[in-house]
Amino acid sequence: MNAIPVTQPSLSKVSARDVNVYYGQKHALKHVDLDIRPNDVTALIGPSGCGKSTFLRCINRMNDLIDNAQVTGLLTLDGDDVYDRNIDVVQLRARVGMVFQKPNPFPKSIYDNVAYGPRIHGMARDQAELDEIVMGSLEKAGLLAEVKDRLEETGTGLSGGQQQRLCIARAIAVAPEVILMDEPCSALDPIATAKVEELIDELRENFTIVIVTHSMQQAARVSQRTAFFHLGELVEVGDTEQIFTNPQHPLTQGYITGRFG
Amino acid sequence: MTGPMQLLTLMVVLLLLATFGYRLGRNRALAAASGNPRLLHSLPSYHGYYVALWCGLPALLVIVGWLMLEPAILHGTVMTSLPAEMQSLPEERLALVYNEVRNVARHGHVPSTAVVGEAAQRYVSLRTTMFFSVAVASLAVAVAALAFAHRRIHTNMRARNRVEATVKVFLMASSMVAILTTIGIVLSLLFESLRFFQTVSLFDFLFGTQWSPQIAMRSDQVGSSGAFGAVPLFAGTLLISGIAMAVAVPLGLLSAIYMSEYAAPKFRSVVKPLLEVLAGIPTVVYGFFAALTVAPFIRDMGAHVGLSVASESALAAGLVMGIMIIPFVSSLSDDVISAVPQSLREGAYGLGATKSETIRQVVIPAALPGIVGSVLLAASRAIGETMIVVMAAGLAANLTANPLEAVTTVTTQIVTLLVGDQEFDSPKTLAAFALGLVLFTVTLALNVVALHIVNKYREKYD
Q: What is the 3-state secondary structure (H, E, C) of A50-75?
A: CCHHHHHHHHCCHHHHCCCEEEEEEE
- Of B351, B366, B460, nearest to A93 by CB-CB distance is B351
Beta strand A208-212 with B227-228 is unpaired
Q: Is the pLDDT of residue A1 over 60?
A: no
Q: Which residues contact B222 (CB under 8 A, 6 or more apart)?
A: none
Q: Is the pLDDT of residue B445 over 80?
A: yes
Burial per residue of A94-124, b for 16 or more beta-carbon CB atoms within 10 angstroms, e otherwise = bbbbbbbbbbbbbbbbbbbbbbbbbbbbebb
Phi, psi of A20 (to 5 degrees): -125, 140
- A-B contacts (CB, under 8 Å): 68
**pLDDT reported for residue A6:** 46
In the three-class reduction of DSSP (H, G, I as helix; E, B as strand; rest coil), residue B314 is classed as: helix
Mutate to test the interface with B, among A68, A90, A92, A174 (most CBs of B within 10 A): A90
In terms of Cβ atoms closer than 10 Å to its own Cβ (0-12, 13-18, 19+), residue A91 is: exposed
CA distance B151 to chain A (A): 56
Contacts of B341 in chain A (CB under 8 A): 104
List the Cα angle B382/B386/B387 in 5-degree steps.
Answer: 120
Phi, psi of A51 (to 5 degrees): 105, 0
Q: Taking a C-beta distance cutoff of 8 angstroms, is the pair A98, A179 a contact?
A: yes
Beta bridge partners of A229: A234
pLDDT > 90: percent of chain B:
35
Beta bridge partners of A236: A228
Contacts of A183 in chain B (CB under 8 A): none
What is the average pLDDT score of chain B? 87
d(CA B317, CA B249): 16
- What is the torsional sign of CA B186, B190, B191, B192? positive
pLDDT higher at B218 or A200: A200
Q: Is the pLDDT of residue B462 over 60?
A: no
- Quote the pTM value: 0.74
Mutate to test the interface with A, among B351, B359, B363, B462 (most CBs of A within 10 A): B351
pLDDT > 90: percent of chain A:
70
Q: Is the pLDDT of residue B17 over 70?
A: yes
Per-residue pLDDT reduced to its tens digit, A208-229: 999 999 888 899 999 999 999 9
Alpha carbons within 13 A on the beta-carbon side of A206: 15
Query: Under an 8 A CB cutoff, do A98 and B346 touch?
Result: yes
- Of A97, A102, A107, nearest to B351 by CB-CB distance is A97
d(CA B14, CA B145): 12
Q: State ipTM.
A: 0.87
Q: Count CB atoms within 10 A of the CB of residue A127.
A: 9
Q: Is the pLDDT of residue A242 over 70?
A: yes
Query: Under an 8 A CB cutoff, do A121 and B352 touch?
Result: yes
pLDDT higher at B279 or B8: B8
**pLDDT reported for residue A247:** 92
Per-residue pLDDT reduced to its tens digit, B310-332: 778 889 999 999 999 999 899 88
Q: Is the pLDDT of residue A107 over 90?
A: no
- Of B346, B352, B459, nearest to A120 by CB-CB distance is B352
Beta bridge partners of B173: none
Q: How confident is the model at residue B424 (pLDDT cuts 50, 70, 90)?
A: low
Beta strand A208-212 with A41-45 is parallel
CATH number of B227-461: 1.10.3720.10, 3.40.640.10, 3.40.50.720, 3.90.79.10? 1.10.3720.10
CA distance A91 to chain B (A): 6
- Of A94, A100, A174, nearest to B347 by CB-CB distance is A100
Query: Under an 8 A CB cutoff, do B351 and A156 touch?
Result: no
Per-residue pLDDT reduced to its tens digit, B67-94: 899 888 888 888 888 887 777 788 788 8
Phi-psi region of B324 (alpha: psi -120 to 50; beta: other; left: phi over 0): alpha
DSSP A85: T
**pLDDT reported for residue B82:** 81
Q: Is the pLDDT of residue A84 over 60?
A: yes
Query: Under an 8 A CB cutoff, do B351 and A65 touch?
Result: no
Beta strand A41-45 with A225-230 is parallel
Q: Taking a C-beta distance cutoff of 8 angstroms, is the pair B242, B383 a contact?
A: no
How do the domains of chain B map onto residue ranges?
A: 4-157, 227-461
Contacts of A137 in chain B (CB under 8 A): none
Q: Which residue type occupies A214? A: H
Q: Taking a C-beta distance cutoff of 8 angstroms, is the pair A75, A16 a contact?
A: yes
**pLDDT reported for residue B224:** 55
Per-residue pLDDT reduced to its tens digit, B335-350: 889 888 889 999 999 9
Q: Which residue type occupies B111? A: P
